[in-house]
Amino acid sequence: MGEFKRIGILTSGGDCAGLNAVIRAVVCRAVGTYNWEVLGIRQATQGLMSSPPEFMLLDLDKMDRLLTAGGTVLGTTNKGDPFAFPMPDGTVLDRSEDIIAGYRELGLDAIIGIGGDGSLAILRRLALQGNLNLVAIPKTIDNDLGSTEHSIGFDTAVNIATEALDRLHFTAASHSRVMILEVMGRDAGHIAISAGIAGGADVILIPEIPYTIANVCKKIYDRQNQGKNYSLIVVSEAVRTEEGEPVMSTNRLGQCRLGGIGQYLSDKICDCSGAETRVTVLGHTQRGGTPSPLDRLTASAFGVAAVDLIADGKYDQMVSWQNRQVVSVPIADAIAQYRAVDLNGTLVKTARGLGICLGD
Ligand code: F6P
C-alpha cells in the first residue's frame, strides 16, 4: 500500500461546476484506497499564506452530496498574485515564502492544485521555489488549455449556454426578434461555437474570427427572405467592436472585466437592419450550479489519477484528457500551450457547413 502521506488540495481561480466532484474523487482515492490524510486548503493559496494556515480535514464522511454540488467547499479566488500580493495598507508584497512556510507547517507531502493556466503558472512557480510536490488538475470554463481535451467546467458552461439558446429560440420566433446571447470564455470562443452549434444559432461571433455588421445583417435579411422573421446570435465576451476596440468595464474596485459586446451588437444590428433586438448576458450562471454528467466524469477520473501520480512520486505533472483516456503532461507544457478555436478545425467547418454565419 506504500507509506502514509498527508496531502493538500486547493481550488484556485474562478469557480466552475465540477470542483467539488474533484475534491470528492481525491478524498475517495487518497483516504479510501491509500489511507492517507487530505487537508483542504481554504481560499486557494491564501489558506497557506495565513498564519496559522487555514484548512479543513477532508474525510470520507464529508464527501456526501459533493459530486453534484456547485462551487467549491474550499473557497477560491482569482485575484491576489502571491508574488505581488496587495496588502490592506496599499503596499504590494511578495508573499510566496509565507505560502511555502504554510505547506511545511502543515507537514504536507504533496499538494494537488486545481486551476486554469494563470493559477497553475503561479502554483508551479511556488513549487519550484519551495521544492513542493505539486500535481495539477485543469479546470476552466474557457477550455483554453492546449494540452487537454477536457477541462473541468467547460461542458457544464456549454450546457447552460445551449439551454439558454433553446429558450431564447421561442421568444425570438414568437416576437419576430433578433435575440443576442453573450457568453463567457475570455479570449477563446469555445463556449460560443459549441453552444451555438448545439443550440441552433444563426450567427456565431468568436474572438478568433473578424466580423462585419454588414455580414451579420445580410444573414438576418437572408433568413427574412426565407420567411424566417427571427434570428439567434451568440457572441463571445471578448469579441471586439467592428473597429477592433475591446468592450469592457471597470467596477468600483478597479477590476476590469469583459462584457457589453452583446449590447453593442444589438444597437448596430438594429441601426443597420431595423430588426427588433434583445440581449441576454449569461454571465456567471455558466460557472455555478450542478455539474453536467461529463464534468462529473472528468472530475472523478482526474481526481483519482492525480492521487495515483502522487502515489507514484510523479510531480510537476498535470492530469490531462487525451484520446479517450487520462494521461499526464508536464505542467510547464500544459501552461505553455494556449488553445484558441482552430479556424480549420471541426467546429468551424461544422458551423460553416450548417450555413451558420460566423461574421466573416
Ligand atoms: O476564466 C473564467 C471566466 O469565467 C471568464 O470566462 C470570465 O471572463 C471571467 O472568468 C470572469 O471573472 P470574474 O468571476 O472575476 O468576473
| pLDDT tens readout for residues 136-187 | 999 999 999 999 999 999 999 999 999 999 999 999 999 999 999 999 999 9
Q: How much is the average pLDDT of 42-51?
A: 97
Ligand 1 contact via 238 beta carbon (within 6 Å)? no
pLDDT of 240 above 80: yes
pLDDT of 201 above 70: yes
Q: Relative to the CA of 185, which ligand 1 atom is closest? A: 6
Q: Relative to the CA of 258, which ligand 1 atom is closest? A: 8
pLDDT, residue 80, reads 85
- Ligand 1 centre distance from Cα of residue 152 (Å): 14
Q: Relative to the CA of 191, which ligand 1 atom is closest? A: 6
Q: Relative to the CA of 142, which ligand 1 atom is closest? A: 6
8-state DSSP, 179: E
For residue 248, how many other CB atoms are within 10 A of its CB? 13
Ligand 1 contact via 287 beta carbon (within 6 Å)? yes
Residues in the chain, overall count: 360
For 107-127, how does the pLDDT look when each residue is reduced to its tens digit (9 = 90+)? Answer: 999 999 999 999 999 999 999
Higher pLDDT, 1 or 210: 210
Bridge partners for 139 per DSSP: 152
Q: Which three cell numbers stand for residue 279?
A: 440581449
- Ligand 1 centre distance from Cα of residue 11 (Å): 15
pLDDT of 2 above 90: no
Bridge partners for 111 per DSSP: 8, 134
* Amino acid (1-letter code) at residue 219: K
Q: How confident is the model at residue 251 (pLDDT cuts 50, 70, 90)?
A: very high
For 63-112, how does the pLDDT look when each residue is reduced to its tens digit (9 = 90+)? Answer: 999 999 999 999 999 988 999 999 999 999 999 999 999 999 999 999 99
Ligand 1 contact via 190 beta carbon (within 6 Å)? no
Q: How much is the average pLDDT of 261-285?
A: 97
Q: How much is the average pLDDT of 326-347?
A: 97
- Per mean pLDDT, which range of 188-192, 201-205, 251-255 is the poorest? 251-255
Ligand 1 contact via 153 beta carbon (within 6 Å)? no
- Ligand 1 centre distance from Cα of residue 14 (Å): 6
User: Is residue 53 reached through a cis peptide bond, with omega within 30 degrees of 0 on the bond before it?
Assistant: no
Q: Relative to the CA of 259, which ligand 1 atom is closest? A: 8
Contacting residues for 189 by C-beta, under 8 A, at least 6 apart: 204, 205, 206, 207, 208, 209, 236, 238, 239, 340, 341
pLDDT, residue 247, reads 97
Catalytic residues: 142
pLDDT of 300 above 90: yes
First to last CA, the chain: 58
Q: What is the mean pLDDT of the chain?
A: 97
Q: Relative to the CA of 286, which ligand 1 atom is closest? A: 4
Q: How much is the average pLDDT of 298-312?
A: 98
Q: How confident is the model at residue 1 (pLDDT cuts 50, 70, 90)?
A: low
- Ligand 1 centre distance from Cα of residue 258 (Å): 8
- Ligand 1 centre distance from Cα of residue 312 (Å): 34
pLDDT, residue 151, reads 97
Q: How much is the average pLDDT of 36-45?
A: 98
User: 78, 247, 338: which to mutate for ligand 1, most atoms within 8 A of CB?
Assistant: 78
- Ligand 1 centre distance from Cα of residue 311 (Å): 33
**Rounded alpha-carbon distances, angstroms, from residue 120 to 239, 269, 274, 296, 312:** 26, 40, 47, 21, 21
* Amino acid (1-letter code) at residue 360: D
Q: Whose CA is nearest to atom 6 of ligand 1?
A: 185
Q: Which three cell numbers stand for residue 128?
A: 519550484
For residue 212, how many other CB atoms are within 10 A of its CB? 12
pLDDT, residue 171, reads 97
pTM score: 0.97
- Ligand 1 centre distance from Cα of residue 189 (Å): 13
Q: Whose CA is nearest to atom 12 of ligand 1?
A: 14
Ligand 1 contact via 140 beta carbon (within 6 Å)? yes
User: 117, 141, 187: which to mutate for ligand 1, most atoms within 8 A of CB?
Assistant: 141
Are the C-beta atoms of residues 201 and 356 closer than 8 Å to each other?
yes
Q: Which three cell numbers stand for residue 193?
A: 461555437
Ligand 1 contact via 141 beta carbon (within 6 Å)? yes
Rg (CA), the chain: 22
